[in-house]
Structure 1
């Protein structure tokens, strides 16, 4: 016998809506199935603004602390006579840095991520203040100005250039290995005497490496290169940019800073 498919009777309006109908009015950062997309340009702009807003606050706090340690004679004397403050700041810096860098759940959890980032920034600012107190005031101001110019130029280049610096991971790794080798050599040489040209070479290499890291991390924010950061990682992005700028300053200070008399 010939089989006949059963007839399905439908009532007008009882059919489920299509994807287009169901997602009418859905924002552009949603996929057709309603899931969330981090690749939307508006989301990326908000992410970048958030990162640089937090970064500006970090740098402002750091500059204020360094200025107090540099210009205030009582504070500078207290630091020079109490080296344990530097050790305590260094310890808290390592703990907060490792927590934020290695624990993804912690750095995404509000408000603990901001609390840890605040502690990290204050510790790093105190450490920079302790280091800056050994240098001449004019040298510190000169190095701050050079660092600001370098960072602004590198950031503008990173955002405007078509060169994908995020693909230069091998170059950055090689430069880091060179820095480690130089540090090991200096560790063996320094006990036998100060070698000015070796310290200058190490400072130049360090400044170049972290300038490239600043360009690399800046392009990770853009989201249109080979590698990019998720907008969830605004704390990690701020952390890396801040450290890049701080290390650029320390290496420039090592090159151009003059000791106090």
Structure 2
């Protein structure tokens, strides 16, 4: 008796393993992935809402500045210099890149690719970026150097999106959905800021 091949909707149903040699239940892993992306969506929408309110509602912006609220002030300082089409361009490009890398990682995982080896390299690259950013405080860079810095930062956080998405598919435990969402959130925000830096430097 012949066995029926996988149908197209088996991926959404979770009946087909996400990667070769998968030992856990695909249904449970898909439920975990949906939970993480739901939290991530809420985080990003909340960030956009808070940023928009702080930037465009001046009494609220003044309130945050006068009370020294760290997060709101951070958002204000980041977004204020980039008002206009630069933000929209950065959001569009970030969205396209994140969706493309996410789909690619799921596709690659299905075919047996593993991106766990990226971890040490990405960690070292972030350390270099942090030191480089501190050096800029004392020795400001010109536009070309800032553009190069933004491009390198964008590549690094693109790597982190692939790395953390791969961990989401294979390694995060079901109790680590908050940590998984935070990791992806930080990757996306840092990618957005890096792209924003590039557009700002090339204006």
| TM-score bracket for the superposition, by shorter chain length | 0.7 to 0.9
Alpha-carbon shift at residue 55 of structure 1 (Å) = 0.8
Give the 3-state SS of the residue equivalent to 1:133 in structure 2: helix
- CA radius of gyration, larger in: 1
Is the contact between residue 37 and residue 181 of structure 2 (CA under 8 Å) also seen in structure 1? yes
1:63-100 CA-partner distances (Å, limit 9, x unpaired)? 22333345x2xx25763796355x5234xxxxxxxxxx
CA-atom RMSD in angstroms: 2.7
Query: Unaligned stretches of 5+ in structure 1?
Result: 1-37, 91-122
1:188–1:127 distance in 2 versus 1, CA, 3 Å: closer
Aligned equivalent of 1:52, options 37, 62, 68: 37
Q: Structure 1: how far apart are the matches of 2:54 and 2:105?
A: 33
1:85-137 CA-partner distances (Å, limit 9, x unpaired)? 5x5234xxxxxxxxxxxxxxxxxxxxxxxxxxxxxxxx5xx633442122132
The number of residues matched between the two structures is 178
Is the contact between residue 118 and residue 159 of structure 2 (CA under 8 Å) also seen in structure 1? no
Alpha-carbon shift at residue 180 of structure 1 (Å) = 3.0
Alpha-carbon shift at residue 236 of structure 1 (Å) = 0.3
1:206-253 CA-partner distances (Å, limit 9, x unpaired)? 111111111111111111xxxx11111000001111111111111111
1:211–1:237 distance in 2 versus 1, CA, 3 Å: same
The structure whose residues are more often helix, as a share, is: 2
Structure-1-length-normalised TM-score: 0.60
Q: Does 1:150 align with 2:111?
A: no
With 206-215 and 129-138 compared, the bigger mean Cα shift is at 129-138
Query: Unaligned stretches of 5+ in structure 2?
Result: 1-22
Structure-2-length-normalised TM-score: 0.76
Q: Structure 2: how far apart are the matches of 1:258 and 1:132?
A: 15
